[in-house]
Amino acid sequence: MADRIQLLPDNIANQIAAGEVIQRPASAVKELLENAVDAGATEIKLIINDAGKSLLQVIDNGQGMSETDARMCFERHATSKIQNIDDLFHIRTMGFRGEALASIAAVAQVELRTRKADNEVGTCIEIENSVVTRQQPVATPVGTSICMKNLFFNVPARRNFLKSNAAEMRHIIDEFIRVALAFPQVFFSLNTNGQQIFYLEAGSLKQRILQILGSNYNSKLVSVKEETDYLNIYGFVGKPDIAKKTRGDQYFFVNNRFIKSPYLNHAVMNAFQDTITLDSFPMYVLFIDLDPAQVDVNVHPTKQEIKFEDEKIVYAFVQAAVKHALAQFSITPTLDFDLDSSIQQLESIQKPFTEEKKLETASSNIYRTFTEANQAHKIEPNELNHWSDLSEQQTTSNRQSEFQSLGRFLLKTEEETATQLSTHHSPFTTEEANLTQLFNTYILLPTAESFLMVHQQLAHERIIYERMTNALQGKPVATQRSLFPSTIELTPADTVLLNELLPDLHQLGYTIEPFGKSAFVIQGTPADFESGNEKMILERILEQYKHFSSEIKLSKREMLLRTVAWQQAIKTGVALSEKEMRNLISDLFQCQQPNISPAGKPTYLEFKKDHLEKMFGK
Ligand SMILES: Nc1ncnc2c1ncn2[C@@H]1O[C@H](COP(=O)(O)OP(=O)(O)OP(=O)(O)O)[C@@H](O)[C@H]1O
Ligand SMILES: [Mg+2]
C-alpha cells in the first residue's frame, strides 16, 4: 500500500497554528501592541475599522527592523527575544514564541513598514497567505507600522465565527486596556472608524487608571506597595465602599504581563473579607514583580495563564499586602488635594502617625477584622442540604398549580375568597393567608400542611423577568418620559457596550439616546417602574450586565433580561406593606416558573409540617 503521510505546506501549517494565537481581532491587537512595547516604543497608536475585521493597524516609534529582519519576522519561530530554552526563565519581554506575526500573516493581508534610526530609508513588505507579494524601500518614520486587512479572508469558517462588531470591539478594548494599564509610561491612543476613543498621555499608574477606568475612582484608590527579597507588589485597590457587583475592574500583572488567576483573585477577596458584602467585587490593579525564574510563562499560547514556582507564597504575599494597605487606609485619613482647608487644619491630619498610635489602632476592632478570620458565621455545607432537597421537590406541576391558585386567592377580598375556596377546593384557608415579613427579606406564608418562605428579591426578579421576556417577544413595555432627562457620561468601554444594548433596552421601556461621543441622554424609563435616579439605574444595569458576561455564557438577550430583572426587583432589606406582599405572591404564582429565580436559585422554600415535626424529634 502506498505511503499516505505528507508534510503540510507552510501556509496551511501556519493557518492551523494561527488558530491558537489569533482567534479574533482582539488577539491580533494584543500581539501587535506587545510587539510595539517590546520594541521600546514610547508612543503606540492603534487604529481600528469595522471592529478590526477590515482594518487593524498599530503604529509605534520603537526601534524598527532592518530590511532582513522585516522579512524574517513573518517566519514561524523567528524571534529576536530568546535564543535558547533557558532564556525563557529570564524573560523580560512580552513576546518570545516567534509565532504572532507568522500567524497573522497566515490569516490576513498584512502590510509592514519599518525603519531603524540608523537607516535612511525603511522597508515596506506586503504579505498574504504567508507569501510575500511585494517588498520595496520606503520613506517612513523610525519605528514600525503594521497594517492588517481583512482578517480571516482565507478562512471563511473562522470569519463566520466572529461576533457582532460591537462584541468584537469590546474584546479589542479589553486587550487595549490591559496593555495600556501595564505601561503607563507609554503614550497610547485608540481610534475606531475615524473616532478617537482613547488618548492616554504618558504618566503615573494612578493617572492611567483614572484615564481608563474613570475619574470617579479618584480619592477611592488605596495604594498597595510591599517590597521583599522574593517579590514586589505594587498598585492600587479600590476602597471597599466602591466595590461593585461586577468583576470588571480587576487586573493582575506579573512582570507587566496581564494574567488571569482565580487563585490570586481569591487572595485579594480574602483580604477584603468583612469589609465588603459577599456578592460584590473589589476593584484592583496589582503588579507583581518577581524573578522570571520563578514563573513559567509558556503554559498557554496567549500567555494569560502562568505558573508560579511557588504559588502559595505569592498568594500569601498578595493577601498580606492588600490587607496591610486596607488596614492603613482605615486608620489614616486619605488626603484629597481639594480637601477643605479647615479639614487640613484638623489635629488628626496634622499629627504624625506615631508608634504609640499604631499600637492603639492595632488593637481596635476595625484593625482586627483585617487580621483575624472571623469564622463564627460559617455554616457547614451539609447543614443546608435538606433545605435544598425541599426546594427541589417543588418543581412538580401539581404543586405549582396549587400555588397558582393561592396567588389568585391572595388578591381577592375575604368574601370573594370564601366562595372561591369552596368551589376550587384550595388547600388554603383565610387565616393561613396571613403574611408576615421576616428580616425585611422573606415573606412567610402559611398553608395547611406547610409554610412557605418566599425570598422577596428573587421572587420579584422572576416576575419581572417573565414580564420582560414577553415584552421582548411582543409589545414593548410602555415608557414614562422623564421630565428632566438626565445625561450620563460613560467610559469608552461602557459606551460601546451601551450602544450594543440600546435596541433591546428600548423594547424594555428604556428610552436612551446617544449624545456626542461618550454621553447618553436618558429620556424615559419603564412606565410601571419607580423613577428616580435614572443615571444610577443605568450604571447599575451596565455593571450587572458585565458581571453576568464575565460569570456565565449566556445570550446577550438573556443577560439583559436577568440584568433588568435584578435592577428593577425589590431588594432585600426593604420593608413591604401587607398589600405589596400580597401582590408579590400573587404575581409570583401567576408565573410560568414561579419556583426559581432567573439565575436558577429557589424563589421560595417550603417547610412541611411533618418535616418540622421530625426536626423536633416528634
Ligand atoms: N513593532 C515591532 N518593532 C520592532 N520589531 C518587531 C516589531 N514587531 C515584531 N518585531 C520583531 O519581529 C519578531 C517576531 O515577532 P513576533 O510577534 O512574531 O514574535 P515574538 O514577539 O518574538 O514572540 P511572540 O510570538 O511570543 O509574540 C520579534 O521578535 C521582533 O524582533
Ligand atoms: Mg510578539
Closest C-alpha to 460, from 581, 607, 280, 546: 581
CA distances from 123 to 65, 116, 140, 300, 382 (A): 8, 10, 8, 33, 68
Cβ neighbours of residue 488 closer than 8 Å, sequence gap 6 or more = 519, 520, 521, 522, 535, 538, 539
From first CA to last CA, the distance across the chain in angstroms is 80
Task: Please give the grid coordinates belonging to residue 540.
Answer: 447599575
pLDDT tier for residue 330 given thresholds of 50, 70 and 90: low
Q: What are φ and ψ of residue 130, in 5° steps?
A: 70, 10
Ligand 1 site, residue 59, Cβ cutoff 6 A: no
Ligand 1 site, residue 81, Cβ cutoff 6 A: yes
**90, 93, 97, 100 alpha-carbon torsion, rounded to 10°:** 170
- CA geometry: angle 176, 180, 185, nearest 5 deg: 160
Q: Which residue has the cell 491580533?
A: 28
Question: Atom 19 (ligand 1): residue with closest C-alpha?
Answer: 98
| pLDDT above 80 for 570 | yes
Of the listed ligands, the closest to the CA of 18 is 1
| Mutation choice for ligand 1 from 101, 104, 119, 302, CB with most ligand atoms inside 8 A | 101
Q: CB count, 10 Å around CB of 75?
A: 16
Ligand 1 site, residue 99, Cβ cutoff 6 A: yes
What pLDDT, on the 0 to 100 scale, is given for residue 49?
95
pLDDT in tens, 598-608: 888 889 988 88
Q: CB count, 10 Å around CB of 46?
A: 26
Atom of ligand 1 lying closest to residue 97 CA = 26
Give per-residue burial for 139-149: e unless 16+ CB within 10 Å, then b: ebebbbbbbbb
Ligand 1 site, residue 70, Cβ cutoff 6 A: no
Ligand 1 site, residue 39, Cβ cutoff 6 A: yes
| pLDDT above 80 for 454 | yes
What pLDDT, on the 0 to 100 scale, is given for residue 30?
96
Across 253-267, 516-530, 576-590, least confident range:
516-530
What pLDDT, on the 0 to 100 scale, is given for residue 485?
84
Atom of ligand 1 lying closest to residue 102 CA = 18
Atom of ligand 1 lying closest to residue 31 CA = 27
Round to whole Å and give the CA distance between 258 and 263: 14
Ligand 1 site, residue 168, Cβ cutoff 6 A: no
CA of 120 to the centre of ligand 2 (A): 25
For 240-258, the DSSP string reads: GGG-BSSS-SEEEEETTEE
Tell me how long the chain is: 618
* CB-based contact 405:412 (threshold 8 Å): no
CA of 35 to the centre of ligand 1 (A): 5
Strand partners, 55: 49, 149
* CB-based contact 537:563 (threshold 8 Å): no
Q: Which residue has the cell 479639614?
A: 343
CA distances from 239 to 218, 234, 243, 472, 542 (A): 11, 16, 7, 38, 21
The whole-number average pLDDT for the span 93-118 is 94
Ligand 1 site, residue 57, Cβ cutoff 6 A: no
Round to whole Å and give the CA distance between 27 and 9: 24
Burial of 4 (0-12, 13-18, 19+ CB in 10 A): exposed
Three-state DSSP state, 56: strand
What pLDDT, on the 0 to 100 scale, is given for residue 558?
83
Ligand 1 site, residue 78, Cβ cutoff 6 A: yes
Question: Atom 9 (ligand 1): residue with closest C-alpha?
Answer: 35
Of the listed ligands, the closest to the CA of 80 is 1
Of the listed ligands, the closest to the CA of 62 is 1
pLDDT tier for residue 411 given thresholds of 50, 70 and 90: very low
- Between residues 159 and 549, the one the model is more confident about: 159
The whole-number average pLDDT for the span 65-85 is 92
Atom of ligand 1 lying closest to residue 79 CA = 29
Cβ neighbours of residue 470 closer than 8 Å, sequence gap 6 or more = none
Round to whole Å and give the CA distance between 299 and 295: 10
pLDDT in tens, 126-168: 999 999 999 999 999 999 999 999 999 998 888 888 988 888 9
CA of 79 to the centre of ligand 1 (A): 6
The whole-number average pLDDT for the span 379-395 is 35
Question: Atom 1 (ligand 1): residue with closest C-alpha?
Answer: 36
pLDDT tier for residue 552 given thresholds of 50, 70 and 90: low
pLDDT tier for residue 473 given thresholds of 50, 70 and 90: confident
Round to whole Å and give the CA distance between 301 and 97: 9
Give per-residue burial for 335-366: e unless 16+ CB within 10 Å, then b: eeeeeeeeeeeeeeeeeeeeeeeeeebeeeee
CA distances from 441 to 4, 554, 575, 596 (A): 70, 28, 8, 16
Round to whole Å and give the CA distance between 22 and 14: 11
| pLDDT above 60 for 230 | yes
Round to whole Å and give the CA distance between 545 and 494: 11
Round to whole Å and give the CA distance between 451 and 445: 6
CA of 71 to the centre of ligand 1 (A): 12
CA of 231 to the centre of ligand 1 (A): 28
pLDDT tier for residue 463 given thresholds of 50, 70 and 90: very high
Atom of ligand 1 lying closest to residue 143 CA = 3
Of the listed ligands, the closest to the CA of 103 is 1
pLDDT tier for residue 557 given thresholds of 50, 70 and 90: confident
pLDDT in tens, 241-276: 888 766 668 999 999 999 988 889 999 998 988 788
Ligand 1 site, residue 461, Cβ cutoff 6 A: no
CA of 279 to the centre of ligand 2 (A): 38
The whole-number average pLDDT for the span 57-80 is 95
Ligand 1 site, residue 20, Cβ cutoff 6 A: no
CA of 175 to the centre of ligand 1 (A): 18
* CB-based contact 306:257 (threshold 8 Å): yes
**272, 273, 279, 282 alpha-carbon torsion, rounded to 10°:** 0
Model-level pTM? 0.66
Ligand 1 site, residue 95, Cβ cutoff 6 A: yes
The whole-number average pLDDT for the span 28-33 is 97
CA of 101 to the centre of ligand 1 (A): 7
The whole-number average pLDDT for the span 376-383 is 31
| Mutation choice for ligand 1 from 35, 77, 125, CB with most ligand atoms inside 8 A | 35
Q: Which residue has the cell 417577544?
A: 473
* CB-based contact 254:232 (threshold 8 Å): no
What pLDDT, on the 0 to 100 scale, is given for residue 182?
97
Q: Which residue has the cell 415573606?
A: 443
Label the pairing between strands 442-446 and 450-455: antiparallel
CA of 614 to the centre of ligand 2 (A): 66
| pLDDT above 60 for 393 | no
